[in-house]
Amino acid sequence: MSLPFDDGFTVPAEWADHARCWMAWPTRAESWGEHLDAARDCVAELANGIAEFEPVSMITKPKNVAEVSLATGSGVSQISLPHDDCWIRDMGPGFVVSGSGDVAGVTWGWNAWGHRFEDFERDAAVAESVLNRIEMRRYAGSLILEGGAVNSDGEGTLLTSESVLLNPNRNPNLSKEQVEEQLIQMLGVRHIIWLGEGLQDDMRGGHVENLARFVRPGVVLAVSCSDPADPNFKVCADNIQRLRQTRDANGRELEIVEVEQPRPRFDAEGRRLALSYVNFYLPNGAVILPAFEDGPADKRAYDVATRIYPKREIVQLPAIELAYGGGGIHSICLPQPAGNIARPL
């Protein structure tokens, strides 16, 4: 069977035009605890905000249809599918596009971020179910890979982190070179940039979506930490240094734009929340930026977003409730690229 690279497909940049945004309704009570209702309110507000810029398709269990209908507006449609929780970026399909504008999907292995939960079979089936529903061609990857663990510049360069893809709880029998080979074949990229560790207590093990993101070719937005006593200080400094010492697939040195993390926050068990302004979403014509109840830091992040996205509308929405479940705005939004759907072969 042919692979995306062979068929001329590559993973697009997230600032390319979208056909829609896929989301899923929070459902796993054991993950959210007392924060479940607040998380649902947050997801509904986010869905309604994104629907101002592009259509939203919300994966919903039948028992939640009425609740979601009351919480969301006309720009949010519902798709009834079994699922375990809302992290569609990680469990959903990846999308790749061809030079002629066709769009296909890639499915990966899923084990709930290295067996954080043992009952994940419904989420594991979501990616294929979505592609079947929209009758899109599917390429099946063999890696354990979550969408929040990779980021593309749309020109052949991919960002990822060693703490996730090289973690024994994901791909224990693969070398770094073997992982790279599969990323190149399945995502149609030419060069992999490896970051190191993730933010303190990141429940997903160090997703790149919390560390650094391409904002345009050759330019990366990276989270920074100015407090040497903070455990994230060395992590951020190391990742920024790695970015400064590398080049992209086209041989360019990278321009690094830094955004300071918000003040530390902790859950009831004393676990630090993985809060990052890099965890934002780019609907058509806008930036949906997180706010973390930290006025000065939220304002700095807004100002940075305004500078790097001068032609987009900046919308800052509260996202701290999402962090109690382990993710952020980017983690629960999956863009389907605009283009013609490549039909199954």
Work out the average pLDDT over 81-103: 97
For residue 1, pLDDT over 80 is answered with: no
C-alpha gyration radius of the chain? 19
Q: How far apart are CA 120 and CA 199, in angstroms?
A: 24
* Per-residue confidence (pLDDT) for residue 130, from 0 to 100: 98
Q: What digits encode the pLDDT tens for the residues 157-189?
A: 999 999 999 999 999 999 999 999 999 999 999
* Per-residue confidence (pLDDT) for residue 186, from 0 to 100: 97
Say if residue 32 is exposed, middle or buried (CB neighbours under 10 Å; 0-12, 13-18, 19+).
buried
Q: How many CA atoms lie within 13 A of 184 on its CB side?
A: 11
pLDDT bin (cut points 50, 70, 90) of residue 30 is confident
User: What's the CATH number for 9-341?
Assistant: 3.75.10.10
Q: How far apart are CA 164 and CA 114, in angstroms?
A: 9
Of 117, 59, 128, nearest to 326 by C-alpha is: 117
* Per-residue confidence (pLDDT) for residue 326, from 0 to 100: 94
Q: Is residue 60 a contact partner of residue 79, using CB atoms and an 8 Å limit?
A: yes
pLDDT bin (cut points 50, 70, 90) of residue 31 is confident
Residue appearing with tokens 């954080």? 116
> Which residues pair with residue 144 across a beta bridge?
109
Q: What digits encode the pLDDT tens for the residues 194-214?
A: 999 999 999 999 999 999 999
Q: What digits encode the pLDDT tens for the residues 295-310?
A: 999 999 999 999 999 9
Q: What digits encode the pLDDT tens for the residues 256-286?
A: 999 999 999 999 999 999 999 999 999 999 9
Read off the amino acid at residue 70.
Answer: L
**Angle, vertex CA 180, rays to CA 174 and CA 183, nearest 5:** 110
Q: What digits encode the pLDDT tens for the residues 2-23?
A: 899 999 999 999 999 999 999 9
Q: How far apart are CA 141 and CA 157, in angstroms?
A: 19
**Mean pLDDT value across the chain:** 97
Q: How far apart are CA 123 and CA 92, in angstroms?
A: 8
Q: How far apart are CA 54 and CA 60, in angstroms?
A: 19
